[in-house]
Structure 1
Amino acid sequence: MASPIDRRPGAAGELVLRRAGEHFEIIANGTFLMDTRNGESERLLVTAAADAMPAGGAMLLGGLGVGFSLRAALDHPRVGPVVVVERETAVIEWNTGPLRAVHGDALADPRVRCVPADLLRWLADGPEPFDAICLDIDNGPEWTVSEDNAALYGATGLDLVLDALTPAGVLTVWSAAPSAEFAALLRTRFATVETLSVPVARGEPDVVFVACV
C-alpha cells in the first residue's frame, strides 16, 4: 500500500507524493499522474526527438514529472542545453529531494535550466527557438487533470509550440492513450506525423506523437 510522504496545494488541486515500496507516485487532485516504476515511454518521448534534432541542439521539456525524460535528454549525445518548464513548484522541489536518486540529480546538471511557470504563458512570451520540444503535460491531449492544460493540445497551443521551434524542429507529445483527432490536428501544422505505441502492464498502451516541421 502506498503511503503519503508530502501534500501540497497545486494548480490542479492537491498534489500528493506517495511511496509504494521502492517506488514513488504523484497524485494530482485525486487522479494518478505518474510513478517511478518504468518510464519507458517518457524516455522514448525524448529519444525520438533527440534522434531527429541537430547535434548539440537545444531542447525544451514541457513537464518535469519524476525526471525520467530529463535524464534521457542529458544522456543523449545529440542534446545540448535543456530548458524544463514545470508549473508545480512542489514537483520541482520533490525532484531535488526524494526523487533525486531516481534520475541522478539531473536538475543539478549545468546544462539544465528549470523554469517554474505555466508552459502556455511562457511560450506566449516568445522564448528562444528550440530544435526539439517534448511535451508531457497531464495525461495527454484527451485526459488532462487540469482544464487549463487542454488548450495546449488545441490549435492555439500548437501554434505557440510551432512558433517556438526552429525551421527544422521536432515536437514529441506523450499521451496515456491514442488520439486520432490530435494526430489529425498535428498534420495540419507539421510535414510528418508518426504515432509510436509503448505497451503497458494494464490498459491501453502509452503513445508518443512525433511531429517534424
Structure 2
Amino acid sequence: MKVVLATEVYPPRAGGAGWSTRALALGLREAGHEVTVLTTSPGAEDLEGLRVRRLSARGRRRLSVPRVLARALAGEKADAIHAQHSLSALGALGGHRPERVAVTVRDHWQVCFWSTRISRGALCPGCGVGPMTRCLDGHLPAPAPLSWGAIPYMQGDLALKRAALRRAGATLAVSGAIAEELRAAGIPRVQVIPNIV
C-alpha cells in the first residue's frame, strides 16, 4: 500500500508530533508499505531511507501550509493519507478523496484556538465568546476590548477545523479524553490509538 504522511513538523527539528510521525513512517515501511512523508519542516530529502519531500510554505503558515500540502498531495497516487496535525489535516482534507484520509489529533486544536485549553493558568471552560475574551489576554498585543475583534476569526478557524475533521475517513485520538472532546464536537469515526512510549 502506498501511504503518504502529511505533517507540518518532522525531524531533525521537531517535537513529539514529528518524532512520532517518524516512528510511524519507519514502522509502516518495515511492514512492507511504500511510505512518503510530505512536510513543510526543513531538513534532508532522504532520511533513514525514507522518501521525505520538504515543501516550502511562505507567508502566514495558517494559510500557506494547507495550500502547499494540498497541492503536493494532489500529485501523489496514495492509497491512504495520514495527516499528523491541524494544518496538514486542512491540506489533506481539502482534496477530492477525504475518505482515504486519517487524521491524528494529539492536542486540543479542534476545540481551542490556542490548542491548549488553558486560559489564565486554568483549564478553559470552553470556546464561547465569553471565555474567548479572557483567552485573548496576553496572546495579542492589543488590549481588551480591542483584541475582541479577533473572536470571529478564531470562531471561524475552529469551525473550519471541525468541518474538515467531519470529512475524514478516520480520526485518531491519542487518548480517551481527546476522543471524548472530538465526539462532543460532532466528529464521527473517532478511534483511540495512544502515543508510543
| Structure with greater proportional strand content | 1
- Bigger radius of gyration: 2
Higher helix share: 2
Q: TM-score, normalised by structure 2?
A: 0.42
User: What TM-score, normalized by structure 1, do the two folds share?
Assistant: 0.40
